[in-house]
Structure 1
């Protein structure tokens, strides 16, 4: 995404104002927002108000908050792209939107990796789970997630993101940057994010879920549904997040004009991970659906069976062991 004294090369200008950029990208973001925002909002409501605060639910709450914060900035990007990549909300807010987009995206990735670790310990090492899986450890892991979010957001908040294009009527938001800034600032920044906040979590997720799959397969047919859901988690994680991260690294490393539009499409597609998370982790679980239905029916009532509440087990454990759904 080069910028030479406020002027863009004609090739690049044609790309960022093409229909594949100004139509496909915002439509993907719009679909992700319409699907993900209400489902995550409902999930957060149930997790906070209707679910016992166990180690697994603490991590799920943090994942849902990350996903909601990411989805919350999508409407501004949608308007920006529909206007032909013309940013009208000011330089400061451009920094906030880009910071929240990347910060919460990688925070969500790290949270998914920690949830995979939690599930790995619960299912593969059930005896060790009695000491390793505690509310205190889950809170510590949650702190790690928000340290990652903060570390990802601060460099974006500290650098200019919006630039007026001299030979055009548009002001871009993170889509056209000075060459030196891209090479000396954003390349090391995104390379670090890729290595520590995507590649490492990806390896953790693959290791944990493959081990979980081996354990579930060894247990036999009664865990067939859990096996299917675990495979689905792996597929969604890889399909949604891997293309955008590879294209991101290639684009910044090579400064290849032709990679930027595919990268933006892949980045928009990656937001579907935040939309699909609640569908996989929560809504496939019969227990969660029951709590949601009860919450919707009795939202004005504080009555809830204390005996039922005491017998509730963690969502992850129940989905895996009794419901066979993750």
Structure 2
């Protein structure tokens, strides 16, 4: 759960004391809304244009790579870019909400869709990165099996399975819509205090299946990749034959992928899941208000890091895929050439017009 979804603790017992505890902690949380709104506003202002342009641009480049569309890794990267680009489309609605000081002016279903979209993007990104890591391990350690097993059709079917699994597993977040607080329509806030025991259970299911299991899978894949690469002889790595050059290129791509995916998990996903779990325990356990608010601020910061995975992933495409870099450079060169041709045509037209002016004849 994000910080803006965890604002209400569960009382340990019934009666007036529990109600007073809930009300006092609600007041404590909402007194700190200004920090949350500023953090999300600045983060999403930065993320929206970068994420949208980079991921839509990545999709265009992937579609232009007619030969690469037959690659299993390219199919997975296209799905990853589609997930990040879709998430970027929800950011203007979030920005409008935070610019208004936490007032939701849109329909209830859009509020539910924004909440839902964040978690769908988060866990599809994690699973697609895990799938990329498994494909890279298969290419390095089992190249013959990689050619027969990692076909584009099978990769597409696995990606569709990931979309379906995450979409169904994230469905509980569609129940969180617009609520009324202090006379205003609010989004990204819980509908009732009594639901957070269920939220804590959902958190651990998501932590285990959506983060911990993929992270352990990536660690196993990368440890085997590194062992395989370091086991090769210096003659194989530094030879001058075309096959040696191809192996060096594959090794560089593997190292880039290992570095980028590991950094993404350590910086974007790990802090958010750990702090979110602690914060939910604080909320559900009725911890001290100051401690809980401090954890909520930490969740706000780590959620911003988690959302930033949508701008980190395009770096993965660039640094781990040589044909992506080549196609991007070709597109840039074509754009510059066309722009230069348009400028030259415009200058020539101006010169012709000046030639035919009365004063110039």
Please tell me whether Structure 1 or Structure 2 has the larger radius of gyration of its CA atoms: 2
Structure 2: gaps spanning 5 or more residues: 1-6, 10-18, 238-247, 336-361
TM-score of the two chains, using structure 2 as the length reference: 0.74
Aligned equivalents of 2:256, 2:127: Cα separation in 1: 23
State the SS of the aligned residue for 1:282: helix
Deviates more, 1:36-45 or 1:186-195: 186-195
Query: What's the CA shift for 1:283?
Result: 5.1
TM-score of the two chains, using structure 1 as the length reference: 0.81
Structure number with the higher helix fraction is 2
Asked if 1:57 is matched to 2:93, the reply is no
C-alpha RMSD of the superposition: 2.5
State the SS of the aligned residue for 2:179: strand
Which of 204, 215, 235 matches 2:217?
A: 204
Aligned equivalents of 1:175, 1:215: Cα separation in 2: 48
* Aligned match of 1:191: 204
Query: What's the CA shift for 1:47?
Result: 1.0
Which of 2, 8, 25 matches 1:2?
A: 8
Query: What's the CA shift for 1:298?
Result: 5.6
Aligned equivalents of 1:286, 1:152: Cα separation in 2: 35
What does 1:222-301 correspond to in 2, within 5 Å? 222=248, 223=251, 226-227=254-255, 229-255=257-283, 257-258=292-293, 259-282=295-318, 285-295=321-331
Deviates more, 1:39-48 or 1:136-145: 136-145
Structure 1: gaps spanning 5 or more residues: 300-326
Deviation string, structure 1 residues 230-287 (Cα, Å, up to 9, x no partner): 2232122221111111122222233153222321221121111121111122355442
* Aligned match of 1:114: 131
Asked if 1:181 is matched to 2:195, the reply is yes
Query: What's the CA shift for 1:9?
Result: 2.4
* Aligned match of 1:42: 57
Deviates more, 1:56-65 or 1:232-241: 232-241
Aligned length: 293
